Amino acid sequence: MDAKETIARRVAQELKEGYIVNLGIGLPTQVPRYLPKGLEITLQSENGFLGLAPLEGEPHPNVVNAGGKPCGLAPSAAIFDSAMSFALIRGGHVDITVLGGLQVDQRGNLANWMVPGKMVPGMGGAMDLVTGARKVIVAMEHCTKDGQPRLLRECALPLTAKGRVSMVVTELAVFGVSHGEFVLHELAAGVALDEVRKKTGATFVISPTLGEMKAVS
């Protein structure tokens, strides 16, 4: 199992019956593959959908997710304009948003839109999702491709939002954020605590209920 699958499988366990969930582009879009059988959730997309579903058959050119990828619609889906979509988000009607991240720091700050040295189209809906959703989960690999930690004492990249991250899921561990500290709740199978310490750019508190990462086998 690769790192992205491990992360997506674990995040899927946070989604509960009846939730309205927004999934960011990239890794978060893999989460629905690993939902428990029979679980009913509603996927929201900021470009104007409630009820996204896996693509079946030929793609329709006007039915795409927020990343521009073809997708399907559930039988009960609704389609609306951006004003309604962001009213849902800003009004606190999204239970969970799952976003990728470049950096998260111990105060729950998130940087996930500006890549140094690269052209970017802008922040998009991320700032609204992070401030409007009831729970914010960041799903990202623990380190960059060159081995630099993504969990830091303080983000060095431009922020998407301050103090809004609830949980961070990596291929190594699951962290919460509480009172300006990372709290280690779970370790992936076969991962030693020392390895997580070496690869994390901030100190963290160990939860008294520290256990093995859930449901990633």
Q: What is the pLDDT of residues 123-139, one digit of tens each?
A: 788 999 999 999 999 99
The predicted model scores a pTM of 0.94
Instruction: Check the CA dihedral 12-14-15-20 and report its sign.
Output: negative
Range of 168's domain? 3-212
* 5 carries an active-site annotation: no
DSSP, residue by residue, 141-202: -SB-TTS-BSEESS--SPPSBSS---EEE-SSEEEEEETTEEEEEEE-TT--HHHHHHT-BS
Euclidean distance between CA atoms 138 and 87, whole angstroms:
22
* Residue 217 in domain: no
105's tokens? 């720091």
* Residue 182 in domain: yes
* Residue 122 in domain: yes
pLDDT digits (tens, 9 = 90+) for 79-95: 999 899 999 999 999 99
Q: From the CA atom positions of the chain, what is the Rg in Å?
A: 17
* Residue 199 in domain: yes
* Residue 192 in domain: yes
* Total number of domains constituting the chain: 1
pLDDT digits (tens, 9 = 90+) for 187-203: 999 999 999 999 999 99
CATH number reported for the structural domain that contains residue 34 in this entry: 3.40.1080.10
**Residues 6 or more apart in contact with residue 30 via CB below 8 angstroms:** 4, 5, 8
Of the residues 5, 14, 46, 154, which is catalytic? Answer: 46
pLDDT computed for residue 217 by the predictor: 60
pLDDT digits (tens, 9 = 90+) for 148-168: 999 999 999 999 999 999 999
Determine contact, residues 87/51, Cβ cutoff 8 Å: no
